[in-house]
Amino acid sequence: MLNKQHIINRFISYVTIDTASDPKSDTTPSTAKQWDLANKLVEELKAIGMQDVTIDDNAYIMATLPSNVNHEVPTIGFISHFDTSPDFTGANVKPQIIENYNGKDIVLNADEDIILSPDYFEDLLLYKGQTLITTDGTTLLGADDKAGICEIISAMEYLINHPEIKHGTIRVGFTPDEEIGRGAHKFDVKKFGADWAYTMDGSQVGELEYENFNAAGAVVKVKGKIVHPGYAKGKMVNSMYIATEFINSLPRMETPEHTEGYEGFFHLYSIHGEVEETVLEYIIRDHDRGHFEARKEVMVKLTNDINEQYEREVITTEIKDQYFNMKEKVEPVMHIVDIAEEAMKQLGIKPLIKAIRGGTDGSQLSYMGLPCPNIFAGGHNFHGRYEYVPVESIMKATEVICKIAELTAIKKG
């Protein structure tokens, strides 16, 4: 049996260390404070008995649990990130422990009247009677993805202490800067040496994901001409009006607030405009690769059409791919999803197999040669003051890791 208090203590020791990443930095890790937790994790991995514990110059951590079977078994991996989102402060996190949650409002901060309520966050009702860890309403919690790290280390510790559970070689990896899209950028897949891996970075208990968006970013620049407005007839070109034409020419209902499931979208997330120049920043998302490519073509054609209308180049659009749907790389090796699904079922967990309406390090790693589905880590309401995680969810995810290791060895034995 897992020791609940031991897991609580471990998790809290992680989240009380500020590890926010910084998209404006060009270093790896992007913030020096990420080293504080990284170095702690290295020492902890050594202390529980992991082998080949390494940390490189960019703070990527790897370690090995050697096989305890005498037959050939694939090497599998488990991966999480230790940075937290820069969207909301992760400094001076003060976790609150709510035992035997009663299904009612939780007062996070009485002074500021900050309430975590099931009236708004309905998922809370899934965890009545369980132990919740919340914030004090002034910071994020950091369960994304320190819950994943806690689960991986706790699982490795459990397997080390219970050699009767048979498993092959297991590699673990902890990365910086996932929250700013760089978690896999400097991950050494060859050094990691796993046949496949799982990121422990999902939310609700049971989540198992091997599909995600194809993603691109687009920067649209519109050029105008500024002239004194009193003498502007036939001379002034207002870039903001042209930008508005561009915006209104894209499908209005194909935006995040009007789409769900497998539906893709164009998302305008930033506008900076003056008469002389307006810059629009978009993200383009679609699960279907063909539809994704068509969306990019729509933006290019619209750019060309507007330039033809004005009989000169008034608008440019630069599109850069960001990541692709891991489904293309995982489907040829679907047994790695099947093993995770079977592990959950054997533990009495209902698998929730769905597509991610977002991205994951697992996507990039899959295209780097390491097929990498995503498994629940248990947290909810990431990146903000209402973030929480049930301790029982952390424990279940820990059990899933151990069961995956066991099933992999059995199936190959």
Q: Is 36 a catalytic residue?
A: no
Q: Which of the following is catalytic: 18, 157, 178, 207?
A: 178
Alpha-carbon torsion angle 388, 393, 394, 397, nearest 10: -140
Phi, psi angle pair for 202, to nearest 5°:
-90, -170
Structure tokens, 54: 């390494």
**Cα 224 from Cα 358, distance rounded (Å):** 35
| Annotated binding residue 162 | no
311 is in an annotated binding site: no
Exposed/middle/buried for residue 308 (C-beta within 10 Å: 0-12, 13-18, 19+): exposed
Residue 144 labeled ligand binder: yes
- Catalytic, 83? Answer yes
Distance CA 170, CA 154 (A): 14
Contact yes or no for 326/367 (Cβ under 8 A):
yes
* Catalytic one of 22, 44, 83, 136: 83
Tokens of 48: 């529980």
Per the annotation, binding residues are 81, 144, 179, 201, 383
Q: Which residues are catalytic?
A: 83, 178
Per the annotation, binding residues for Zn(2+) are 81, 144, 179, 201, 383
